[in-house]
Chains A and B, each alone.
Chain A
Amino acid sequence: MIPRWLRNSFPYLAIGILLAGLGYAISFGQLEPADFTYNNGAEIKTVDPALATGSPEGRIINGLFEGLLRNMPTGTEPDETSSIPLRPVTMGMADTFEISEDGKTYTFHIRESAKWSNGDSVTAEDFRWSWQRMLHPETGSEYVYQLYSIEGALQYNTGAIELGGIVEVEHGQRQTRTELFPRANISRGKLVAHGTWSAADGVVWAKASATDSGSGSHGHGDSEQEGDTPIEVYKVTVYSSDHILDELDLSGDSHEMLFIKYTDDQKVPESIAGEYTRCFHVLPDFQSTVGLKVSGSDQRILSVQLVEPTPYFSDLVAFYPLYPVHRKTVETHGAMGWTKQENIVTNGPFLLDDRRIRDRIRLVKNPRYWNADGVSLEIIDALSVESDTTALNMYMNGQVDWLTSLPTMIMKDLMPREDFVSAPMLASYFYRLNVDQKPLDDVRVRRALNMALDKVKITERVSKAGEIPARSYVPPGLAGYDGYQCGEFNVKEAKRLLAEAGFPGGEGFPTMRILYNTNDNHQAIAQVIQQDWKNNLGIEVRLENMEWRTFLSNVSETQFDIARAGWIGDYPDPNTFLDMFVTDGPNNQTNWSNQQYDALIESAKTLRGEERLKALSEAEKILMEEQPIIPIYYYVSKNMVSDRVKGFSANIQDVHPLHVLTVEDK
């Protein structure tokens, strides 16, 4: 039975709860209005440069951090050879850099005025450490391959150790497994022997000649360690070194140590455990194997040794994953802690002031930035509105000054507007053909499919934002590069090719399916293509849409006949497009393989200048003749920018650094 007082107090209680809710909602932060608000498009995954991927993350990280160099949209006058303005690289933390004769050594000089937001100087060591952290297998950086052009980087990242090589062994003494990039207790020395231990066979050392192929870094928590899977053991001649950065003195004191890889379960018996030291990672010794050297009296010079001359290395350095992080902050606060606004230390034009998940990220001007005088905006709000329609409403209503993504449905109403800013982009929209699938294994069929497509109709009636119909994979406008064009729209020739392949008038052609991720635009394009193929070739295709991640997993397993795809260049160079179609490349996803193509891409790595571009162009010729893909159009960037914003310029990679923008009062 409920006491009377409780019953009587019930209405008051209810009213009390309501008032509390009301009070809370109103009290929800009265923020100072921002100078400039833009829609970042999505909630960012992280502000940690090494772990981030994607353009929304890029916009924030470009505001918070700065690399040795920086990509700038300014100076975007188109040069004579290209129709698209190129994006020059300008100085960032470095004020000068030199490239050696052979193109394999880059030397960066960091400016003296480069400071972290807590006042510390930015040094070459910050970059060395940040890149080492990025390369460490446990960091799990998705963009880590951007560093693979540095000597020894791939080996360090994959833990490829070899007998006789110098290794670093991390002892298994962490407090928690998930400490961020732990560097305590490292033994350095020569790997003498490598083997396995199992309860049944005891320790078995591998033959001395065998080299290890990349399993050195993992093992903990591995699924196959259930049951009686052998555990890795190592014999290392450990040399004493006072400091992890010192060159290892191979003539100094040394002693032999035995290590056994750390596992969760305690199945390693006492006898072994006493003799062997537990360890987490056995990696190539970073200091002596990876091509990074710090020098100069204040550690301001960073020299980078590359495996091959990489003409776009300066573009990679200007790309946000290679921005530095503040070592002390990362080590003190660890994962998830160091990126919190109360802890984070940055070196870019802005500071992280406030962050509310899926609401906004507030950036404020960093007074310690070396070029703070050149930064005009004081407070920036980056919203993460997912719905393009909602974002457009907010823009129309004056709540937002810049939209990075627009609703396709009303594109044709937005395009003529003066605040619509657009430029060709370094990005391609194309279809992948699964060349293992009959009849797509016949190159004539693939060519016929391409030639039967009226791509102009697609860009003019469907995508409608001024996209350029594509006949090559690499977008035009890369200086000095001539791509190869695949067959143009030609129904007669397409019919002939199809008949030659054994399907006159489309007879006997199996019904194939076009796979795309659920999206109105992709669907409309697929429908036009379906119609074209039906009318021009007499073949039937089915359309099949899938939710994004389901789609991705199907494509990566090549579970499709024809699949929609898009690719945005990482850096302004044809290689970012072409190297993905080498045999078994992870982004190939068409089962296509051509040795000549592979050889050309490989040769381009060592060539320089014109010859290199020529090799790449020849590779594209093969790609376009063999046609494992059908290029459809080159993307254009689509932005809406309020007229009170100045300094916003359209460019090929659609980068718009926040620190060059200025606004007029509302």
Chain B
Amino acid sequence: MFAFLLRRLGWAILTVWIVYTVTFFLMRSVPGGPFDGERQLPEEVERNLLEKYNLNDPVHIQYFNGIRDIVANPIGEKFGPSIRLADYNVDEVIAQGFPVSASLGIFAMVFALLLGMTSGVISAIKRNSALDVGFMAAATLGISVPSFVLASVAVIVFVFWIPIFPAAGWGELSQILLPALCLGAPFAGYIARLTRTGMLEVLGQDYIRTAYAKGLATRRVVVRHALRGAILPVVSYLGPAVAGILTGSLIVERIFYLPGMGSHFIEAALQRDYPLAMGMVLVYTCLLYVMNTLVDISYGVIDPRVKVE
């Protein structure tokens, strides 16, 4: 287990370095810079600005200075000042944006798991019933409809027709539900199908028949015996699902005006805010990496047959 984590850490450092390098050169190869505007800056002013953000150093110096800062500086000062949010450090922007995206992601995930697994289990037990067909149709719809379409429809229905939610914004529980629902819907659909397939496979097995033969109630058989084996595919799907929710939140955050990482990420790229964009990319990289590692570990937790090595 320890060796496993150590090895993962080694790969993590390599991954972050590669992502840093690719991002660094991609950003600088894109035309346009952070100080471009419809109004052309006088030469002296632009020179002052470039100097202020150390953007007039040779590229290789900027590259190594960036790495040095990330390695050597304490958390809170790793990425330096943001160019387009001049009152903040990149680290402060991340510190403000991360909790928003995290709670949105957690809500979406909980919603996806609850809805997906419940409907999947019911579908499997009542196979071929109207309920099953209905759930699976809904699941297919959830997977195939992109989240921005779903969001638009949800706004029309739940904001204007049945006014129970605010249109957008952040700060209250009611403001997080609609975006979390839209963000989680495709994953709920996928999880429902995975759970159903898993359940069907497990329900046909001998140990389930044994459990029934012992006279256990259906509920106990399903929850205690069958579900555990059936959700393994769901668990392995969690890795990609977390990745999907993280990246999917870019769109949902914009539509619902949430001040999360996604909004900062998009704006940083559009505004050529090099330090902020770099910070965002690296945080996303680390998040995805950690999540995937956690999923790998959780295999071993849930299924005794799997050893984490």
- A-side residues, CB < 8 A to B, are 1-2, 6-7, 10, 17-18, 21-22, 24-26, 28-31, 43, 45-48, 51, 53, 137-142, 144-145, 157-158, 178, 214, 217-218, 220-223, 226, 335-336, 339-340, 355-359, 383, 385-387, 390-391, 393-394, 396-397, 399, 547-554, 556, 565-567, 586-587, 589
Contact = CB atoms under 8 A, between A and B. Distances in A.
Contacts of B86: 45-46, 48, 51, 336
Given A339-B87, A393-B167, A397-B159, A218 B51 contact: yes
Interface string B43-59: 11101110110101110
Contacts of A340: 87
A358 to B, nearest CB: 4
Nearest to A9: B301
A358 B300 CA distance: 41
A56 to B, nearest CB: 12
A387 B32 CA distance: 23
A551 B171 CA distance: 37
A554 B31 CA distance: 8
Max count, chain B CB within 10 A of own CB: residue among A397, A547, A554, A589: A397
Nearest to B156: A393
Given A2-B300, A24-B99, A25-B176, A138 B48 contact: yes
Contact of A140 (B49, B104, B302): B49
B259 A358 contact: yes
Contacts of A394: 166-169, 257
B215 to A, nearest CB: 26
A221 B298 contact: no
B16 interface: no
Given A336-B88, A386-B267, A549-B270, 7 more contacts: A48-B86, A137-B48, A217-B48, A358-B264, A550-B32, A551-B32, A552-B38
B36 A552 contact: yes
A587 B43 CA distance: 11
Interface in B1-58: 1, 30-33, 35-45, 47-49, 51-52, 54, 56-58
19 contacts: A18-B110, A22-B107, A43-B85, A43-B267, A45-B86, A53-B39, A221-B51, A221-B56, A223-B57, A223-B58, A336-B86, A390-B167, A393-B159, A394-B169, A397-B166, A399-B167, A549-B31, A549-B272, A553-B31
Contact of A226 (B58, B300, B301): B58
Nearest to A47: B87
Contacts of A26: 173
Contacts of B163: 397
Contact of A17 (B51, B99, B106): B106
B81 interface: yes
A65 to B, nearest CB: 14
B27 to A, nearest CB: 11
Contacts of A47: 87
B256 interface: yes
B278 interface: no
B170 interface: yes
Nearest to B84: A45
Contacts of B100: 28
Residue among B38, B87, B88, B155 with max Cβ neighbours from chain A (10 Å) = B87
Contacts of A551: 32
Contacts of B87: 46-48, 336, 339-340, 355
B276 to A, nearest CB: 10
A10 B45 contact: no
B124 interface: no
Contact of A586 (B30, B40, B54): B40
B107 A549 contact: no
Interface stretch (B89-97, B126-134, B187-195, B242-250): B89-97
Given A157-B44, A386-B267, A393-B155, A28 B32 contact: no
B48 A566 contact: no
Contacts of B51: 138, 140, 218, 220-222
Contacts of B89: 336
B103 A21 contact: yes
A24 B1 contact: no
Contacts of A141: 45
B254 interface: yes
B147 interface: no
B125 interface: no
Select the residue from A46, A336, A358, A587 with max chain B CB neighbours within 10 A.
Answer: A358
